[in-house]
Structure 1
């Protein structure tokens, strides 16, 4: 009997913790909607910037999506670079609806994060892990547009293999050769697509074509990877910079350095991609 009651207590505590988390995130969402009430008519790019600014000071926390079994993780209290960008885009999409709601925001987030968001059970291999794949799928759905080529980008070759080559670094792949095989096939598919980038020394030359609210993706030279960091473009006076969840500052910040200087300071960066929201 004691074991039975212990199990029941643990289940209740687990439910309460999950429910508390959703209550906290719903409270952040409601606070966001109040803050944006007078700004809803702004163009999408400006809404992206204002939404990203709403999160300034939010703690940087990595790995918040790594839950098992796979499920939609909603966490507006702790962000990394990608979850800042995803949540900003999903919030703006929901805000532009006639009747914004927390459910619409969660639906938008799920639709941007997964290859097959309508599946009854989400799968780890359907999450859009590689940023280039995230761009492709969301462009295909009409949410984003990769404008890198049209603003002066040069061809970029990608050869993705990092996740399948290092399954021990991902608990959902470690010991799951079936999932690794799926990732190998997906990496080959992603790598076969055409890509463009703006080399790090040419960013200022194309700065006039980069808009507030664009998503900036930092192209890495690390073998097997595509993008190492992302942020949201903003201008501070005449300075072209970006808002991001900073690993060094451990929070969401407006970057102090201009964009080109920042990219040039990162040893394993070769340039950037620019993606424009379409909602």
Structure 2
């Protein structure tokens, strides 16, 4: 049976472009902040033909366009019960920074006469939610970075190139249950405790998926094989979670490869030290995983 979504995808219902639309379960006044910033960035991207750039370079270009936006945590927690794709260009955290950079790069690659917030929200839905679909539930969202890599690699949105970039070790003996252990920190789980057992089931499944990463002491030698726009997941030594941070690689004109991220330390989006220098600046950082946008 053809659903409304299928009809929209085929362009058989009104509303503009035939592209599949975002599942917008909440009004855009709630889900999209910073329309003027969006319009400025997109206008520049169109004028300078960023769509012609290779995908990785395109992601990095959008990442640089977001530099200076302030760091704000918990921007995805926008309701007590209803989940909906969202964008906040007034404030970014580490996850939303790389996600919006990738989403803008994917969006601008779809040549069309104009771009609006719904176009970016659809790209966010494609990468933020398990299988690329939000059905309005909090557990539709991918909450752990290791699952984000696995899910998006399986669907062809990225390639997990960690093994191609450097020697890997396997993470063992670690639980991946930070959210079910601390539900009061998460607005949706706090409002609806019945979600916690299902969240724990998701975490238990993730714990059984092999997880390989490049250890910290091998990253400097591996950096020449990292490309601009690669998504760099920071693996942690902390208990109860595999990854604690994420950003983008940026290869600069001097040939070095830097870590670009939304930084709680600098309180904004910055181009930071080289990746290996950044890792050594935080004792709990254990290494990296590398995803390459496709």
TM-score (norm 1): 0.87
What is the alpha-carbon distance in structure 1 between the residues aligned to residue 121 and residue 86 of structure 2? 9
Does 1:251 find its partner at 2:251? Answer: no
SS in 2 for 1:241: strand
Q: How many residues align?
A: 259
Match of 2:184 in 1: 168
Q: What displacement does 1:145 show? A: 1.3
Match of 1:85 in 2: 98
> 1:212-231 counterparts in 2 under 5 A?
212-231=228-247
Between 174-183 and 72-81, the greater mean CA deviation after superposition: 174-183
SS in 1 for 2:76: coil
SS in 1 for 2:86: coil
SS in 2 for 1:150: helix
Relative to structure 1, the CA distance from residue 211 to residue 117 in structure 2 (aligned partners, 3 Å threshold; closer, same or farther) is closer
Q: What displacement does 1:20 show? A: 8.9
Does 1:126 find its partner at 2:135? Answer: no
Does 1:202 find its partner at 2:202? Answer: no
SS in 2 for 1:228: strand
Match of 2:288 in 1: 272
Does 1:74 find its partner at 2:87? Answer: yes
SS in 1 for 2:101: helix
Match of 1:3 in 2: none
Match of 1:187 in 2: 203
Asked if the contact 2:31–2:85 (Cα under 8 Å) also holds between the matched residues in 1, the reply is no
Match of 1:234 in 2: 250
Over alpha carbons, which structure has the higher Rg?
1
After superposing on structure 2, the runs of 4+ consecutive aligned residues of structure 1 that deviate more than 3 Å are: 17-22, 116-119
What is the alpha-carbon distance in structure 1 between the residues aligned to residue 131 and residue 164 of structure 2? 29
Q: Which runs of 5+ in 1 are unaligned?
A: 1-16
Q: Which runs of 5+ in 2 are unaligned?
A: 1-26
What is the alpha-carbon distance in structure 2 between the residues aligned to residue 229 and residue 212 of structure 1? 18
